[in-house]
Amino acid sequence: MNITDLKPEIVWKFFHQVTQVPRPSKKEGKMIEYLESFAKEYHVAIKKDAAGNILMSKPATPGKENLPTVILQSHMDMVCEKNNATVHDFENDPIETIVDGEWLRANGTTLGADNGIGVAAELALLASEDIEHGPIECLFTVDEETGLTGAKALQEGFMSGEILLNLDSEDEGEIFMGCAGGKDTQAIFHYEPQPTDPNLVYLTIDIKGLNGGHSGGEIHKGLGNANKILVRYLYILGTQVDFTLCSINGGNLRNAIAREAQAVIGVASKDKETARVLLNNYAAEVENELKHVDPNVRITMESTDQPASCISSELRDKLIWSLHACPHGVIGMSHDIEGLVETSTNLASVKMGPDNTIIVGTSQRSSIESYKNMIANQVASTFKLAGAEVRHGDGYPGWAPNPNSQILKVAQESYKRLFNKEAKIMAIHAGLECGLFLEKYPHLDMISFGPTLRDVHSPNERIQIETVGLWWNHLLELLKSLPAK
């Protein structure tokens, strides 16, 4: 079975088209061209702002002119992650989709259902001629995944709707009415390269096989973080033998839990066996720790050629100690909403940067602004103690729940009417653009909902096929159930 054989056909038709258009964050030009071409083909009104955000609008169907204007919103960019063995150019190649039982996934890459399925639903509404709805506006934002710059740049007056439906959630049957705010913290270590010793033997340590995942929606699962796993070993090794650190790299995106990490070290010949025994024992411990959530973790050590340079032993210690001390994972749970992660932090990436730098990327989230700043400052303090230069990003606000929301009530009632069961009303620990929309449009009444996605921001990303139809039917029922103005 192919993606185009799935139901509802109109949604999967456009999702297939979306997967054929390269759309990395900050490089959405081809996606913008596709959306402009769509608007021309279907004779839909369209406008674009300076940031590249697109707004398409469609008048009400006959008899629904007195309904309030609804904004449907999705982001057009996608997280671009792939397995090491996968050959894929995200700037030019289409995503190869595979129907795998009840799920749709990609072939060794992220699928881009986050948030391509939301884009597809909006396009299906705009293209359809037999769906009842009031006036609608469809907003497609750029660069949600690496800075929310599209939402930040959105100007007052670009949209006119009174209700906003964010289509960027990942659990069918759950309606979200709030989200966490976020902030990035970056630490930069500066060093002078040292010559390597030809009398040492050099080893590459690899951490692989982890699932990775979304640093908001999946931070509570206790998934393995490749950066933390690597530095734990390096710390243990340093207590037993002297070693040279030549390079260290791990993780990639600020909002993804690190799946892979690597370090190149040098040890004396007499210490090689000690290093290997320590690694084997440590690998067994990690495999046992992660057997329920990351059963495929692999920690390997291989001989390698002598690198050209290394870092000083003083910086080696400061880097390893601070990375080991840096918090990662859930910091606190909400006292207002049972089961909701309130505050967390993600040790996202460690990279050998330009100009003899080592750059550590982290991201913090909280539904309480003061806690968001607290954990960002805690992470900053860890690296300042090690002598690193620390920078904070601008961050983005959370979206405070509104239990008196009218659109929330309509969404609950329409779900119950369709499926004869209650939808779950939730807040989400992941960041959504909704908080930024409220800054410019404080009158908006908003909810977020979507089909079921799993392992987003990783090559295991997949979407549960059946839930797309359930979500789509709920969306259509909601649109025609709104009370007149």
Q: Which residues are catalytic?
A: 77, 144
Q: How far apart are CA 211 and CA 41, in angstroms?
A: 40
224 in helix, strand or coil?
Answer: coil
202: burial class by Cβ within 10 Å (0-12, 13-18, 19+)?
buried
In contact, 181 and 369? CB cutoff 8 Å:
yes
Tokens of 357: 């730098």
Tokens of 190: 């500066």
Going by their DSSP bridges, the two strands 45-48 and 54-58 should be labelled as antiparallel
Tokens of 386: 């090690």
Bridge partners, residue 389, by sequence: 188
Nearest-CA neighbor of 38 among 126, 107, 114?
126
65 in helix, strand or coil?
Answer: coil
Q: How far apart are CA 80 and CA 287, in angstroms?
A: 27
Bridge partners, residue 152, by sequence: none
Distances (CA, A) of 2 to 226, 317, 421: 34, 53, 31
Output DSSP code: residue 196: P
Bridge partners, residue 243, by sequence: 267
In contact, 28 and 76? CB cutoff 8 Å:
yes
Q: How far apart are CA 246 and CA 409, in angstroms?
A: 58
Q: How far apart are CA 357 and CA 190, in angstroms?
A: 5
Q: How far apart are CA 167 and CA 366, in angstroms?
A: 21
Q: Could you give phi then psi for residue 167, rounded to 5 degrees?
A: -105, 40
Q: How far apart are CA 247 and CA 266, in angstroms?
A: 10
Nearest-CA neighbor of 124 among 481, 478, 480, 473?
473
In contact, 430 and 166? CB cutoff 8 Å:
no
Q: How far apart are CA 437 and CA 451, in angstroms?
A: 22
